[in-house]
C-alpha cells in the first residue's frame, strides 16, 4: 500500500494519481480511474469528477446541497421531509454545513509537527496512497499471521485408516478449482495447492425489495467490506427497507472485523427502532452511533498475533439507506456513498452524500478545484470514520421525499472509483435495476472488476418506492 508519487514524464497522465498513461488506456493501471477522456496532450476533455456541492446549498427543494449531474440548471426537485412531530428532532447534518474544517471541528490537517501519541489526523482507505513505504518485493498489502500448521492425520489404530473427523477423510471438502484434491485445515488444496475462496470473497443477498453484492476485488488478499440488508414493518404495517454498507479502513488493523461489526450493529438497531415508531431519520442516527460503539469495542479486545507493525484501532466507514413509506433516509460517515437514479432516465440523477475526505474539504475550502484535489495522492484520506481513535462522531443524516420511482445505489469507493459522477453511475446501472436489483448489483460489481478491481467492491440497490413482498427478484 505504497504511495504513488507523481512522475515527471511527458505525455498524458492520470488526473488522479499522475501515473503515466499508454495510448489506448481506458482506465488507470494504478488507481483504476476512468481516463478515457484524457486527451493526447495530457489534458482532459470533459473529464467527469465527483459532484461536490459543499460550497453551495443549492436552491430550495434540493436537500443537503445535492445537485444533479445532468444538464446545467437541472436539479432534483424533491420536497424536504418534515421534522419529527414530537420529542427531539432528528439531528440533520448536511454537507453544505461543512466549510473546510475537520469532522472534529478543528483546522484542516497541517501534516507536520505531530507526534504519534496524538493519534491520527486522517486515515486513508486508498491501498495506493498509504503513508508508509512498502518494502521492496512486497505486494503492497498488510501481512497476515501465518496459518497454524495442520496436525498430522489421526488414524484409527485398529485399521490404520483416517479416523472420524479427520480433514483428510472421505467427508473432507474438495477443492473448488481442480475438484480432485482435498482441502486441508489451512484452506489450501492438497492436490493443486490453490487457496480456497473465503466466505467473504464474494457474497450475494437478495430480498424482495433490496439486493447486495460484495466482492474481494482483484488486488486485495481479503474482503474488508461488509453489508447488511433487511426489511421491517412500521407500526401501521407498511414496509420499510434497510441497506447498510461498510468499508474497512485499510490502514487500520482488523478492518474486516470492523466493517462486519458495524454493519450488523447498525442493521439490528434500525430493525429494533422502526417497529417502535421511531422516525426513520432518528433511527438512522442511532444506528450509526450503535455501529460506532461496536467498532470501538473491538479495540478493547486486544491486537491479533503476528506482525504488529500496523496494529492500531480497527476502523471503517458506513453509509446506509432506509426506505419507509414515502420517505428516503440516508446516513453516512466517511467516503462511502449513496446515489439516486430515477427509473425515468430523462429525469435528473444525484449523489446524495458528500465525502468526509481531504479532497472534498479542499474543494469546500476553495483551496483547490475538483481536478486538482482528486488528482492529489491525499484525495482518499478520510476525515471521518468509525473507530476508537476517530474524532468526535458526527453522523450525517438527511431525509428526502422523492417525487418519482427510482433506485438508491449504496456503495463503497471500490465501485464509485469507476463511476464517480452521478451521471456515470446512472450510465452503468441497468435500466431494469428497479425490477431486478440483484442482477443489476452484479453488473455494477462486474464493471468495477473490469476496470481493474483495485479495491473491495460492495453495492446495495434499494428500489424506491419499496415493492410489495413477492414482487422483487428471487
| pLDDT value at residue 314 | 95
| pLDDT value at residue 73 | 35
User: Is the pLDDT reported for residue 134 higher than 70?
Assistant: no
User: Is the pLDDT reported for residue 110 higher than 50?
Assistant: no
Share of the chain above pLDDT 90, in %: 44
- CA dihedral defined by 146, 151, 153, 154, rounded to 10 degrees? -150
| pLDDT value at residue 458 | 98
Judged by average pLDDT, the poorest of 3-7, 150-154, 331-335, 370-374 is 3-7
Contact between 31 and 454 (Cβ < 8 Å): yes
* pLDDT tens-digit readout, 243-268: 999 999 988 889 999 999 999 999 99
Mean pLDDT, rounded, of the chain: 73
Per DSSP, the three-state class of 415 is helix
- Identify which of 443, 413, 265, 251 has the alpha carbon closest to the alpha carbon of residue 339: 413
Q: Which run of H or E residues covers position 398?
A: strand 396-400
* pLDDT tens-digit readout, 359-394: 899 988 999 988 888 888 888 899 999 999 887 898
Q: Find which of 70-79, 227-236, 294-303, 460-469 is predicted with most confidence, using mean pLDDT.
A: 227-236
More confident residue, 122 or 49: 122
Q: Find which of 29-43, 103-117, 154-168, 282-296 is predicted with most confidence, using mean pLDDT.
A: 282-296
Average pLDDT on 395-411 reads: 95
More confident residue, 115 or 35: 35
- Identify which of 58, 51, 52, 45 has the alpha carbon closest to the alpha carbon of residue 12: 45
Judged by average pLDDT, the poorest of 70-74, 352-356, 368-372 is 70-74
* pLDDT tens-digit readout, 426-444: 999 999 999 999 999 999 9
Q: Dump the DSSP string for 253-290.
A: SSHHHHHHHHHHHHHHHHHHHGGGT--HHHHHHHHHHH
Q: Dump the DSSP string for 196-256.
A: PPPTTTEEEEE-SS-EEEEE--SS-SS--EEEEEEEEE-TTS-EEEEEEEEEE-TTSSSHH
| pLDDT value at residue 374 | 80
| pLDDT value at residue 65 | 35
| pLDDT value at residue 52 | 25
How far is CA 412 from each of CA 75, 248, 278, 291, rounded to the nearest angstrom? 24, 10, 27, 17
Amino acid at each position: 500500500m505504497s504511495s504513488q508519487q507523481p512522475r515527471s514524464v511527458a505525455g498524458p497522465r492520470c488526473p488522479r494519481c499522475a501515473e503515466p498513461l499508454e495510448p489506448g488506456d481506458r482506465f488507470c493501471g494504478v488507481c483504476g480511474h476512468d481516463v478515457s477522456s484524457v486527451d493526447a496532450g495530457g489534458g482532459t476533455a470533459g473529464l467527469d469528477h465527483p459532484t461536490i456541492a459543499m460550497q453551495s446549498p443549492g436552491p430550495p427543494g434540493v436537500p443537503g446541497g445535492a445537485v444533479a449531474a445532468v444538464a446545467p440548471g437541472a436539479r432534483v426537485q424533491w420536497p424536504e421531509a418534515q421534522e419529527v412531530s414530537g420529542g427531539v428532532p432528528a439531528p440533520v447534518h448536511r454537507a453544505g454545513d461543512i466549510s473546510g474544517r475537520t469532522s472534529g471541528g478543528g483546522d484542516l490537517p497541517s501534516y507536520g509537527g505531530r507526534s504519534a501519541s496524538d493519534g491520527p489526523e486522517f486515515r486513508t482507505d486508498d491501498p495506493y496512497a498509504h503513508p508508509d513505504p512498502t518494502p521492496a518485493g512486497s505486494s503492497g498489502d498488510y501481512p497476515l499471521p501465518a496459518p497454524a500448521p495442520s496436525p498430522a492425520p489421526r488414524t484409527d489404530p485398529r485399521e490404520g485408516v483416517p479416523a472420524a473427523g479427520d480433514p483428510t477423510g472421505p467427508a473432507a471438502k474438495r477443492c473448488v478449482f481442480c475438484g480432485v484434491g482435498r482441502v486441508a485445515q489451512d484452506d489450501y488444496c492438497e492436490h493443486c495447492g490453490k487457496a480456497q475462496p473465503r466466505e467473504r470473497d464474494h457474497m450475494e443477498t437478495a430480498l424482495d425489495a433490496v439486493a447486495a453484492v460484495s466482492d474481494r476485488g482483484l488486488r486485495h488478499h481479503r474482503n474488508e467490506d461488509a453489508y447488511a440488508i433487511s426489511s421491517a414493518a412500521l407500526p401501521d404495517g407498511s414496509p420499510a427497507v434497510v441497506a447498510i454498507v461498510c468499508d474497512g479502513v485499510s490502514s487500520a488493523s482488523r478492518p474486516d472485523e470492523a466493517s462486519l461489526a458495524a454493519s450488523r450493529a447498525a442493521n439490528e438497531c434500525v430493525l429494533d427502532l422502526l417497529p417502535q415508531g421511531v422516525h426513520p431519520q432518528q433511527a438512522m442516527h442511532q444506528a450509526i452511533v450503535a455501529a460506532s460503539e461496536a467498532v470501538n469495542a473491538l479495540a478493547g479486545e486486544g491486537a491479533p498475533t503476528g506482525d504488529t507493525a500496523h496494529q492500531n484501532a480497527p476502523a471503517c466507514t458506513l453509509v446506509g439507506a432506509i426506505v419507509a413509506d414515502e420517505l428516503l433516509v440516508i446516513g453516512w460517515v466517511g467516503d462511502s456513498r449513496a446515489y439516486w437514479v430515477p427509473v425515468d432516465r430523462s429525469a435528473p440523477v444525484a449523489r446524495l452524500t458528500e465525502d468526509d475526505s481531504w479532497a472534498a474539504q479542499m474543494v469546500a475550502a476553495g483551496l483547490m478545484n475538483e481536478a486538482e484535489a482528486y488528482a492529489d495522492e491525499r484525495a482518499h484520506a478520510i476525515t471521518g470514520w468509525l473507530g476508537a481513535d476517530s474524532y468526535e462522531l458526527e453522523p450525517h443524516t438527511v431525509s428526502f421525499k422523492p417525487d418519482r420511482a427510482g433506485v438508491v445505489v449504496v456503495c463503497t469507493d471500490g465501485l464509485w472509483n469507476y463511476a464517480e459522477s452521478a451521471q456515470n453511475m446512472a450510465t452503468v446501472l441497468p435500466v431494469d435495476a428497479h425490477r431486478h436489483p440483484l442482477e443489476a448489483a452484479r453488473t455494477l460489481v462486474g464493471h468495477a472488476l473490469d476496470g481493474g478491481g483495485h479495491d473491495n467492491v460492495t453495492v446495495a440497490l434499494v428500489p424506491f418506492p419499496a415493492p410489495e413482498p413477492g414482487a422483487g427478484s428471487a
